[in-house]
Amino acid sequence: MTGSSSYEDLVKAILECRKCPLYKFRNKPVPGEGPLDSKIMIIGEAPGRYEDISGRPFVGPAGKLLDHLLNLAGLERKEVYITNVVKCRPPKNRDPRPEEIEKCLSYLLRQIKIIKPKMIIALGRISANTLYDLVGRRWRGMKIEHGVSTEGKIEELNIVLIPTYHPAAALYRPEVKKILEEDFRTVIKDYARKVKSDTVSKKKSLLDFFS
Ligand code: URA
C-alpha cells in the first residue's frame, strides 16, 4: 500500500470514527493537514470551535498566532504537517479525557508512521505529556520542559521532540507569548534548519548522483 492510499484510509477512519463519545458533539472531525513528506510535525491538543466548523487544524486565533511563531522559526505553514492528539472537539473546549486520548492515539501513531517526521513540536501540556509517554520520558511540567529537545523513538523512528506552550495560552498572557516566541526563535528554529538542510543535502546528493 502506498503512503498516500494508507493516508486516505486513515483520514476516512477518522472522519467516520465513533470510538469515543466525542463524535456525538462534533461538527467535523479534524484529521490534520500538510505535506505527507514533511520533516516537521506540529501536534496540538484538540480542535476548538473554528476547527470543528471547518474541519481544519489551527484556523482560529491560536492558529494565527501559530503562523506568526512558525515565521519566527523560519517556517511556513505549508511545509509542516499539523494535527492534534484528539481529532474531535471536546464540548466547551474542555481538556480531552485520558480515555478519549487513549482511543484516539492509534490515529496519531498511524500519522507519524506515514509522515515519518524528524522533528515533532508538541504544543501544550496535553500534547507534550502524551508524546513524552510515547518516548518513555517522565513529564515534569511545562516550566521545566518547554524548549528542551529530547531524542526518542516513536514507531521505530528517531525523532527530536520539542515541547512548548500552547498558542491559545499565549493569547491573553503576554508573558507566555514571550516564552513561546523565544522557543520558536531559538531552539525550534535551530532544529528546523538542521532537519531541513539534511533533507536538502540528501536530495542534492541524489541529484549529483544522477547528473
Ligand atoms: N487548539 C488546538 O490544540 N488545536 C487546534 O487545532 C486548535 C486549537
Distances (CA, A) of 109 to 8, 92, 104, 158: 15, 26, 9, 14
Confidence of residue 208 (pLDDT cuts 50, 70, 90): low
**129-181 pLDDT per residue, tens:** 999 999 999 999 999 999 999 999 999 999 999 999 999 999 999 999 999 99
Q: What is the pLDDT of residues 99-134, one digit of tens each?
A: 999 999 999 999 999 999 999 999 999 999 999 999
pLDDT of 200 over the 80 cut = no
DSSP 137: -
Position in ligand 1 atom list of the atom nearest CA 124: 3
Residues 30-44: pLDDT tens digits? Answer: 999 999 999 999 999
Classify residue 33 by burial, with Cβ atoms within 10 Å: 0-12, 13-18, 19+: middle
C-alpha 171 – ligand 1 centre gap (Å): 13
Query: Is the beta carbon of 45 within 6 A of some atom in ligand 1?
Result: yes
Looking from the CA of residue 45, the nearest atom of ligand 1 is 3
pLDDT number for residue 4: 74
Distance separating alpha carbons of residues 44 and 60, to the nearest angstrom:
13
Q: Atom of ligand 1 at shortest distance to CA of 123?
A: 3
For the CA of 56, the closest atom of ligand 1 is 6
- CB 58 less than 6 A from any atom of ligand 1: yes
The cell for 44 is 496540538
Q: pLDDT band at 56, cuts 50/70/90? A: very high
Of 117, 120, 81, 114, whose CA–CA distance to 199 is shortest?
117
Residue 190, number of CB atoms within 10 A of its CB: 14
Q: What is the CATH number of the domain that holds 176?
A: 3.40.470.10
Cell numbers given for 32: 490534520
Q: What is the β-pairing status of strands 157-164 and 150-154?
A: antiparallel
CB atoms under 10 Å from CB of 36, counted, come to 13
Q: Could you give the number of structural domains in the chain?
A: 1
Question: What is the rounded average pLDDT of the residues 56-84?
Answer: 98
pTM of the predicted model, to two decimals? Answer: 0.93
What is the rounded CA–CA span in Å between residue 188 and residue 190?
Answer: 5
Strand partners, 150: 161
Q: What is the CA radius of gyration of the chain?
A: 17
**Is the minimum distance from the CB of 187 to ligand 1 under 6 angstroms?**
no
> Residue 80's closest CA among 196, 204, 200?
196
Q: Which residues pair with 120 in a beta bridge?
A: 41, 161
> What pairing do the DSSP bridges indicate for beta strands 40-44 and 81-84?
parallel
Q: Which cell goes with 59?
A: 484556523
Mean pLDDT along residues 61-89: 98
Residue numbers of the domain that contains 121: 3-210
CB-ligand 1 contact for 84 (6 Å cutoff): yes
Q: Which amino acid is at 123?
A: L
pLDDT of residue 202: 61
Percent of the chain with pLDDT over 70: 92
Distance 57 CA to ligand 1 centre (A): 6
Torsion of CA 91, 29, 65, 188, to 10 degrees: 120
